[in-house]
């Protein structure tokens, strides 16, 4: 079984350098192209995507729907309806607000702030200090709140879906947002047995040193791909509360998952960082790692539900599908996608007789 953790395509706010967490930013024309390229890539992947779990915000929903259409052989992607495989199970999509991006509070809809030449503080810190006493001020969603949402998603959606499809040659796609995905991955790690995580050699060859809790940012439509294989002994290597740090802050030990040449002891001794300000997404589509360093809040060991699985990380921030995908010139690629607009090719198609 495969799981793809996927970030949505490029949005208008990505291009404009605008904070968009719960704000329902729309995909650009280039973002739609990214989503469709990803959809076609996943259709030709190692196994079919049978279930798509998605954020209901339109940037994630449209990306998820592109994957759904390609899996089911519908038009709208490069895969035509005639390519549908009669013997292929139809994919389904489930949307849940648990996968919505971090709420940036008073930052929502505001531009990224540059560092002021008159202050040692970052632009966002200076802005925060200036406005935190304003009436109706709303702070940024906390790490604790995001951890709770991620745990609920795992308990209510992903873990049951994994068990229902155990042993099947099928994939699950989780389509969400950069910061939420980074937090979800860390919560996912806490559900795994101590020695169950391995990393594909091609990943370490391409990425170098890997710290499990900090795999880096998700590019637009970038994906993390992992393979889950059920193990006969569910208690083998199970991490219990005593193996986590005594103050309730812990990580899945990276030393058991990494080759000795890439082991980093710091991965298991992370300390909490500043939680008052959001990370700054980069306008090129990259999302900065939100918690560097971070806290992984404790999870009851017997409620994790994934202790009987081995996990192999196959791809980190996969972008193979974007090779050859070029942005349309003249600002068209960065413009808001309009479902009713005609593509350039449509102007040259001959009318059917």
**Digit-coded pLDDT (tens) for 307-341:** 889 999 999 999 999 998 888 776 777 777 777 66
Strands 223-230, 2-7: pairing is antiparallel
Task: Give the H or E element holding residue 16.
Answer: helix 12-16
- Please tell me whether 194 is known to bind a ligand: no
Helices (H) and strands (E) in the chain, counts: 8, 7
- Mapping DSSP to helix (H, G, I), strand (E, B) and coil, where does residue 192 land? coil
CA–CA separation, 6 and 315 (whole Å): 11
- Please tell me whether 240 is known to bind a ligand: no
Task: State percent of the chain over pLDDT 70.
Answer: 69
CA–CA separation, 215 and 289 (whole Å): 8
- Please tell me whether 340 is known to bind a ligand: no
- Please tell me whether 8 is known to bind a ligand: yes
If you write DSSP's letter for every residue of 29-42 in order, what string do you get?
HHHHHHHHHHHHHH
Task: State percent of the chain over pLDDT 90.
Answer: 48
Kindly indicate whether the domain formed by 2-75+89-104+141-232+299-338 is annotated with CATH number 3.40.50.1240: yes
- pLDDT given for residue 124 in this prediction: 73
Strand ranges (E), the chain: 2-7, 49-54, 92-95, 171-176, 197-199, 223-230, 309-318
Residue 238 CB contacts under 8 Å (≥ 6 apart), including other chains? 193, 194, 301, 307
329 or 31: which carries more pLDDT confidence? 31
CA–CA separation, 336 and 30 (whole Å): 9
- Please tell me whether 11 is known to bind a ligand: yes
- pLDDT given for residue 331 in this prediction: 73
Domain boundary assignment for the chain: 2-75+89-104+141-232+299-338
Q: Tens digits of per-residue pLDDT, 232-277?
A: 765 544 444 333 332 333 333 333 333 323 333 322 222 222 323 3
- Please tell me whether 131 is known to bind a ligand: no
Structure tokens given for 142: 């906390």
Q: Tens digits of per-residue pLDDT, 212-243?
A: 988 888 999 999 999 999 987 655 444 443 33
């Amino acid at each position: 079984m495969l799981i793809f953790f996927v970030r949505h395509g490029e949005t208008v706010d990505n291009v404009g350098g605008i904070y968009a967490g719960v704000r329902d930013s729309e995909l650009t024309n280039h973002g739609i192209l990214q989503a469709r390229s990803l959809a076609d890539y996943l259709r030709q992947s190692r196994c079919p995507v049978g279930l798509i779990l998605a954020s209901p915000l339109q940037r994630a929903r449209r990306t998820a729907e592109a994957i759904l259409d390609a899996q089911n052989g519908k038009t709208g992607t490069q895969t035509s309806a005639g390519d549908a495989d009669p013997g292929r199970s139809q994919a389904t999509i489930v949307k849940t607000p648990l996968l919505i991006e971090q709420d940036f509070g008073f930052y929502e809809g505001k531009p990224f702030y540059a560092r002021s030449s008159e202050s040692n503080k970052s632009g966002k810190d200076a802005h925060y200090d200036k406005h935190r006493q304003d009436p109706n001020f709303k702070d940024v969603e906390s790490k604790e709140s995001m951890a709770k949402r991620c745990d609920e998603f795992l308990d209510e959606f992903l873990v049951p879906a994994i068990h229902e499809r155990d042993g099947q040659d099928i994939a699950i796609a989780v389509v969400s947002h950069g910061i939420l995905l980074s937090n979800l991955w860390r919560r996912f790690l806490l559900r795994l047995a101590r020695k169950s995580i391995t990393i594909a050699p091609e990943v370490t060859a391409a990425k170098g040193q890997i710290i499990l809790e900090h795999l880096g940012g998700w590019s637009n439509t970038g994906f993390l791909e992992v393979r889950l294989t059920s193990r006969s002994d569910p208690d083998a290597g199970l991490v219990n509360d005593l193996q986590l740090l005594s103050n309730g802050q812990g990580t899945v030990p990276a030393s058991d998952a990494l080759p000795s040449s890439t082991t980093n002891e710091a991965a298991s001794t992370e300390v909490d960082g500043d939680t008052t300000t959001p990370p700054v997404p980069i306008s090129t589509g990259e999302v900065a790692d939100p918690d560097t360093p971070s806290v992984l809040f404790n999870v009851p060991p017997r409620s994790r539900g994934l202790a009987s699985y081995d996990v192999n990380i196959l791809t980190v921030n996969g972008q193979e599908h974007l090779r050859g995908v070029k942005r349309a010139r003249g600002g068209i690629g960065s413009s808001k996608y309009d479902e009713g607009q005609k593509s350039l090719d449509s102007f040259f198609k001959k009318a059917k007789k």
